[in-house]
Amino acid sequence: LLGLDKHASNGGYMIRSLYFDDYWNTAYQEKVDGVLLRKKYRIRIYDYSDRVIKLERKRKSDSWIYKEDAPLTHEQFDRILAGDYEFLRDSEHQLCRELYVECMCNVLRPRVIVDYEREPWILDAGTVRVTFDMNVRAAVGGFDIFDSTLPVLPVLEPGKLVMEVKFTEFLPQMVRDLLPGKAQELTSASKYVLCYDKASYLRGFGYWQEGWSVPSL
């Protein structure tokens, strides 16, 4: 019933995203707390290539998602990674200018790299997009998204994947009938939160916050 996305040349493609968060870890905390109005920033590439580099901002209002993006060059990414944000202030793209404000005022900085393989299926009616994200993993050891040698840590149980069903107009009944029963319910599954938690050892586990106790001698 659905056709494979034209960009999936070999049945799918690999996605790597560098997620950012501010000084207070607002994007992470609001997701965990279930805040209805929230946003997060990321830089995304495909198959480790610099052919397409996108700065993205994902806004969410309850179950509604709005995405904005702006193109970046490899050199611009390197400057962001080095902490040089001044060029963003004079960018022709509003999203880049707003990223500059976030970096300077809210200390927005890289947090974690999220990797996975995506198999995307589409249906014109209702502008439906069903994606299967497999082998979700956190890349650790650096924030250079073009470094394909970064060690990775899987974040899902063996045999598990993340299915997302997105539509802009309506979800046709024939697609609803294809979905497993539990998929009829809205379920939260944040790849950013999963990978952030998986890489928590890099920032310290924070045992004192988890109710851990140290026996006295």
Give the mean model confidence (pLDDT) for residues 24-32.
Answer: 94
DSSP state of 90: T
Cα 209 from Cα 217, distance rounded (Å):
22
Per-residue pLDDT at 183: 61
Q: What is the number of domains present in the chain?
A: 1
Q: 127 in a domain, yes or no?
A: yes
Residue 206's φ and ψ, nearest 5 degrees, are 70, 50
Percentage of residues of the chain with pLDDT beyond 90: 71
Phi-psi region of 8 (alpha: psi -120 to 50; beta: other; left: phi over 0): beta
User: How does 92-106 read in b/e, with b if 16+ C-beta sit within 10 Å?
Assistant: eeebbebbbebbeee
Global pTM value: 0.88
Q: 198 in a domain, yes or no?
A: yes
Residue 10's φ and ψ, nearest 5 degrees, are -115, 35
Question: Do residues 70 and 97 lie in contact, with contact meaning Cβ atoms separated by under 8 Å?
Answer: no
Least confident of 59-63, 101-105, 144-148: 59-63
Give the mean model confidence (pLDDT) for residues 182-205.
Answer: 78
Amino acid identity for residue 3 in this structure: G
From 190, 192, 126, select the one nearest 164 (Cα to Cα).
190
Cα 188 from Cα 190, distance rounded (Å):
6
Q: 213 in a domain, yes or no?
A: no
Q: 138 in a domain, yes or no?
A: yes
Q: Give the tokens for residue 96.
A: 């880049």
Q: How distant, in Å, are the alpha carbons of 66, 78, 173, 184 from that of 59? A: 5, 25, 27, 23
Q: Give the tokens for residue 64.
A: 């509604």
Q: How distant, in Å, are the alpha carbons of 64, 115, 197 from that of 167? A: 10, 24, 29
Per-residue pLDDT at 214: 44
Q: 211 in a domain, yes or no?
A: no
Q: 144 in a domain, yes or no?
A: yes
Q: 215 in a domain, yes or no?
A: no
Q: 9 falls in which pLDDT band (50, 70, 90)?
A: confident
Quote the mean pLDDT of the chain.
89
Q: 187 in a domain, yes or no?
A: yes
Per the DSSP assignment, residues forming a β-bridge with 109 are 21
Q: Which domain holds residue 38?
A: 3-204
